[in-house]
Each structure stands twice: as structure tokens, then as C-alpha cells.
């Protein structure tokens, strides 16, 4: 006789940034029980917690989903790795640790689409509730009491300083705090690093909450289907291994999907929620037709590499041999070092063309360079790198399950640079960073450009380089777009409830209606903070003045 499923008030699928916050917030209420299902293992891997360990974890399938995009002509026929976290903390355990909110009008545009309560003034208090800002910042815009420490770069390289000086010389101001609501300018990134360690969402939110008996976290539990009674979601089935017997957990109140943009879309589709054509291809009967998996977007970046003069010591030398030994010693004694930095050091938010009201580009600079075609393999000569990507891409793709088996990776097709305006902005970004890498301040340290090289000059040549060498920034959004029920491109309403169903909510980056002008981590956490208040029936925090 089948055993009775375990029952909780809430079942959350995914222990990433959103799931970790939800688990912590929901179990603050006495007696509320929560089960979190995480497809990956516990976050015990040392390289998760060492900031520089992302070089290891990004290629480690034991803690990541080794997803790849579908190749197109505009990726040079390449399938591009778009790795996502698969462990407690999700991608916050393997990402670049950058804290970046974006521009106020990102959120104002969400509200203008009919999403009540999602304007910048409404959302700012929820950004602030998450963070513990360690450093300068306006106290009416920055949180000081949250669980996630946001710290300043403490390892400063002469090349980084020269890049900033060159930008200032070119008329670009220094940004005192790009997370204050005024983004334009250049400066150092703020990061989720403290005391030499990465602070993931699991470390900040989930692990403290796991001390509560009302919270149960099940790892190596891959969700394979949402359970319904009529039109109401009442549970989730999961697999401990491929071919194993499914295990069911029940939810008295709600099922919350926080599996991440790609996995959320796949789980919904294999559960019969999605476009009829997609479900027909994988042999799943249509339970509820919605555009799940559509409206998918990602940032696409191209990077330019410069060779430094032989006497310029960059990350390339510091990460090898005796240089690395010295950096390890500095890390062990709490001194600034390369092991406790984010992969991107300097930010530049600027305009692809003069005359724009706000920046439409994010650019990054690092005093190190990676070998062509290799993932985070440092060059054997001293070098530096700058990259650029468009804030709000217009190219739209999709995520579609390839089969009903959740052990088969989904098809991920961002359609990078398919939109003509995206190509125009991308070219503007490449030309901007190339110019800024050749300022007098930089050329005191540098010899020449190695990628794409000085002979690549025309628009068609630069675009060809972008097609063959560009890459994801791992910012996947939009497959369960938020919008009113009258918006046929939307999947959830402005309370993040799935249209036409009961007891089912989506809380992760998949609900973003459009791309924020930023890395997506901070905004995903904000979404989870707001969702927690929706679910708990609380009044929203007062809007910012």
C-alpha cells in the first residue's frame, strides 16, 4: 500500500536566491511548515565559499547545471555554456557575486505594463530589506540591517585605477554609488563577499532558517511534476535519481516554483502547463495552456583583450606559482588578495551613443585576461580584459523541454543579437571599450590589443568577432513573465500567481517582464522579498519617498 505523502503548508521547488529567502521569511511565522526541494547537493564544496572558486564550480557538474544554448548563425554555430547553480544557494553559490540593482526605470516599466506595486518606489524597500550595506551609500536607499553583506572592492590594482582615470579623462564621471538609483559612471563593483568568503543566499538566509524545526530542506530532490486536484496545485513529485520511483510531498496552502528561469519553465511544461505546440512535441497532454518558456532573454557580452608590458604584474601571473602562494598567505591572514575578489572589478555604465538619457550599456574591466575560446583559463602573458553588453536586449528567445524526462536538458535559445537594434548597441559597446582601453592612462601599462586585434575595424568585422567570441553573462530571465491576465504574453499576475490556476506561484527571475539594466541577482532577491509578503498576507512595505 502506498505511503501517505508528507504534508507541509508550503512546498518550494529550488533553494536558490529566491527559494532561500522565501524559506527564511515564511518560517518566521510561528507554526508555518515549509519543505524546500533542491535538485543539487548541500553546499559543502569548499570552492563554493572561496570567491575565486567559481573557476572550479562553473565546470563542476556536481554543483551546477551544465546547460548550453542552442547554436545559431549569430553565435558562430557555437553552443554557449550558460551554467546555473545546482546546490543550496543555487546560482548565488557559483555566480560572480556582484550586487547590482539597475536603473529605477527598469521597474517603472514593469508597473507601466499593468503590474501594480512594482514601480521603483514600491520595490526599493525590498531591495533594502535584503542587504547589509558595508560602506558608503545613502541610508534612504541602502539597507544596513539585512542578512546579505554588500561590501566594496578591497583589492585595488594599478590597471584598474588607470582604467578609471582614463574613463574620467574621457568625460565619464566616477559613480559614488551605482546602486543609489543614479547608475551612470565608472567605479568599483560592490560584492556579496565578507571576511574573505562568498556569502550566498543559502549562507545568508537558508542556513540560519534551517535551525527551525518547521523547515525541512531535501537535497538531491529533482522535481518532476506538479500535482493538481482540479485546478489547484496541491503538491510536487520529485526523483532522487534517474529512474527512481517518484516521491510526493503535499502543500496545504501553496506550491511555489523557484527553480530558476530555465528549470521553472521545464518543470511547468512537463507538468502540462505551457504552449500546446511545445507540450505536443514532448508528448505531454495540455493541462493548462500558457506561454511558459517564451519571452526568454539573456545578456550577451563581447570582450576585448590587451597585452600588458612585461613588467606589469596582472592576475595572469599572480594566480600562478609563487605569486599564488603569496596570495594564499594574504587570504589566510585577512589581507586584500585575488582569492577574495569578484571576477569583474571595475564597472562602467554608459551610453552606446551620445544623446541617450540613461546608460544602455554595462561594461566591466578586470586586470587579467583569459585564453581565447577557454572558460576562465588565464593567458600565459600579462593582460587585461574589458567587456560590454546591452542593458535591455530586444532579442527574444525561448526555453523548451526536449522531453518529459527532467534529466534531459531543456532547449535554451536566447536568439542573441537577432534584433537589429541589439547589434547596433553591441557595436557601440565594443567601440566604447576599445577606445577606453587605449587611453593614455592605460597605454602606460599596455603593449597592444590581442583580441579582436587592431586589424578588425569595420562593423561587419567586429560583429563577426562578436558572433564567434561573445558569450552569455548568465542572466536568464522572462520565461514566466509577469503581467495582467489580459496580456497574452504573461504567465503570472502581479502577485506572482499563475493565471487560471490556484495554489501555484512562481518566484524567481523567470517572472521578470523585461531585463533589468543590471546583473539579475539583486532583483531576484527583491522579488522574493515582495513575494514573501504577498504569501504571508502582509501589507506591503511603505513606498520610498
**Residue linked to cell 512535441:** 281
The CA–CA distances, whole Å, from 341 to 155, 183, 187 equal 7, 22, 15
**Quick check: helix, strand or coil at residue 461?**
helix
**Quick check: helix, strand or coil at residue 7?**
strand
Length of the chain: 545
In b/e form, how buried is each residue of 380-418, taking b as 16+ CB within 10 angstroms? Answer: eebbbbbbbbbbbbebbbbbbbeebebeebbbbbbbbbb
CA angle at residue 442 from 328 to 96, to 5 degrees?
Answer: 45
Report the distance separating Cα 207 and Cα 196, nearest Å: 19
Q: For the purposes of burial, counting CB atoms within 10 Å of the CB of 26, is it exposed (0-12), middle (13-18) or buried (19 or more)?
A: buried
DSSP string, 462-504: HHHHHHHH-EE-S--B-TT-B--TT-TT-SB-TT-BBTT-BSE
Evaluate whether 395 touches 297 at the Cβ level (below 8 Å): yes
Helix (H), strand (E), coil (C) string for 210-278:
CCCCCEEEECCCEEEEEEEECCEEEEEEEECCCCCCCEEEEEEEEEEECCCHHHHHHHHHHCCEECHHH
* Of 480, 512, 545, 540, nearest in space to 263 by CA: 480
* Of 539, 507, 545, nearest in space to 10 by CA: 507
* Strand duo 64-65 + 215-218: pairing: unpaired
The CA–CA distances, whole Å, from 350 to 174, 186, 370 equal 11, 8, 24
Helix 158-169 crosses helix 420-437 at what angle (to 10 degrees)? Answer: 110
Helix (H), strand (E), coil (C) string for 362-415:
EEEEECCCECCCCCCCECCCCEEEEEEEECCCCCCEEEECCCCCCCCCCEEECC
Q: Which of 157, 347, 475, 499 is catalytic?
A: 475
Active-site residue, 475 included:
yes
Task: Answer whether the bond into residue 412 is a cis peptide, omega within 30°.
Answer: no
In b/e form, how buried is each residue of 141-170, taking b as 16+ CB within 10 angstroms? Answer: bbbeebbbbbbbbebebebbebbbbbbeee
Catalytic residues: 475
Amino acid at each position: 500500500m502506498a505511503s501517505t505523502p508528507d504534508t507541509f503548508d508550503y512546498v518550494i521547488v529550488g533553494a536558490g536566491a529566491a527559494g532561500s529567502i522565501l524559506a527564511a521569511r515564511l518560517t518566521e511565522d510561528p507554526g508555518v511548515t515549509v519543505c524546500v526541494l533542491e535538485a543539487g547537493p548541500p553546499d559543502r564544496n569548499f570552492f563554493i565559499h572561496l570567491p575565486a572558486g567559481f573557476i572550479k564550480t562553473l565546470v563542476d557538474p556536481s554543483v551546477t547545471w551544465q546547460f548550453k544554448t542552442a547554436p545559431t548563425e549569430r553565435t558562430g554555430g557555437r553552443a554557449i555554456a550558460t551554467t546555473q547553480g545546482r546546490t543550496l544557494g543555487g546560482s548565488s553559490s557559483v555566480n560572480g557575486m556582484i550586487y547590482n540593482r539597475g536603473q529605477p526605470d527598469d521597474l517603472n516599466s514593469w508597473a507601466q505594463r499593468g503590474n501594480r506595486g512594482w514601480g521603483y518606489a514600491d520595490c526599493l524597500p525590498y531591495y533594502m530589506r535584503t542587504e547589509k550595506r558595508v560602506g558608503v551609500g545613502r541610508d534612504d536607499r541602502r539597507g544596513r540591517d539585512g542578512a546579505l553583506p554588500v561590501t566594496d572592492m578591497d583589492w585595488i590594482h594599478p590597471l584598474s585605477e588607470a582604467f578609471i582615470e582614463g574613463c574620467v579623462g574621457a568625460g565619464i564621471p566616477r559613480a559614488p554609488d551605482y546602486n543609489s538609483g543614479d547608475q551612470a559612471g565608472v567605479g568599483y563593483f560592490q560584492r556579496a563577499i565578507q571576511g574573505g568568503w562568498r556569502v550566498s543566499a543559502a549562507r545568508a538566509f537558508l542556513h540560519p532558517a534551517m535551525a527551525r524545526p518547521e523547515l525541512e530542506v531535501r537535497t538531491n530532490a529533482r522535481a518532476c511534476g506538479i500535482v493538481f486536484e482540479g485546478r489547484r496545485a496541491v503538491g510536487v513529485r520529485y526523483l532522487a535519481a534517474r529512474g527512481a520511483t517518484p516521491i510526493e510531498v503535499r502543500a496545504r496552502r501553496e506550491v511555489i516554483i523557484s527553480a530558476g528561469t530555465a528549470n521553472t519553465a521545464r518543470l511547468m511544461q512537463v507538468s502540462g502547463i505551457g504552449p500546446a505546440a511545445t507540450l505536443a512535441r514532448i508528448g505531454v497532454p495540455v493541462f493548462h495552456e500558457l506561454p511558459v518558456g517564451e519571452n526568454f532573454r539573456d545578456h550577451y557580452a563581447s570582450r576585448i583583450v590587451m597585452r600588458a608590458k612585461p613588467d606589469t604584474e596582472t592576475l595572469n601571473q599572480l594566480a600562478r606559482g609563487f605569486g599564488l602562494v603569496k596570495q594564499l598567505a594574504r587570504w589566510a591572514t585577512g589581507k586584500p588578495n585575488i582569492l577574495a575578489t569578484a571576477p569583474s572589478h571595475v564597472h562602467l555604465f554608459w551610453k552606446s551613443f551620445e544623446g541617450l538619457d540613461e546608460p544602455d550599456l554595462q561594461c566591466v574591466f578586470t586586470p587579467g585576461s583569459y585564453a581565447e575560446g577557454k572558460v576562465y583559463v588565464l593567458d600565459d602573458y600579462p593582460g587585461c580584459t574589458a567587456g560590454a553588453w546591452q542593458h535591455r536586449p530586444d532579442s527574444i528567445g525561448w526555453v523548451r523541454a526536449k522531453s518529459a524526462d527532467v534529466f534531459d536538458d531543456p532547449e535554451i535559445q536566447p536568439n542573441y543579437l537577432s534584433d537589429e537594434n541589439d547589434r547596433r548597441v553591441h557595436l557601440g559597446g565594443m567601440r566604447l571599450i576599445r577606445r577606453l582601453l587605449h587611453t593614455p592612462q592605460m597605454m602606460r601599462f599596455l603593449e597592444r590589443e590581442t583580441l579582436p586585434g587592431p586589424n578588425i575595424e569595420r562593423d561587419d568585422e567586429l560583429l563577426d568577432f562578436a558572433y564567434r567570441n561573445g558569450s552569455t553573462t548568465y542572466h536568464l530571465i522572462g520565461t514566466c513573465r509577469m503581467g495582467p491576465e489580459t496580456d497574452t504574453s504573461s504567465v503570472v499576475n502581479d502577485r506572482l500567481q499563475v493565471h487560471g490556476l490556484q495554489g501555484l506561484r512562481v518566484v524567481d527571475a523567470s517572472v521578470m517582464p523585461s531585463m533589468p539594466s543590471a546583473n539579475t541577482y539583486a532583483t531576484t532577491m527583491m522579488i522574493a522579498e515582495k513575494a514573501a509578503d504577498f504569501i504571508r498576507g502582509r501589507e506591503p512595505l511603505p513606498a520610498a519617498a
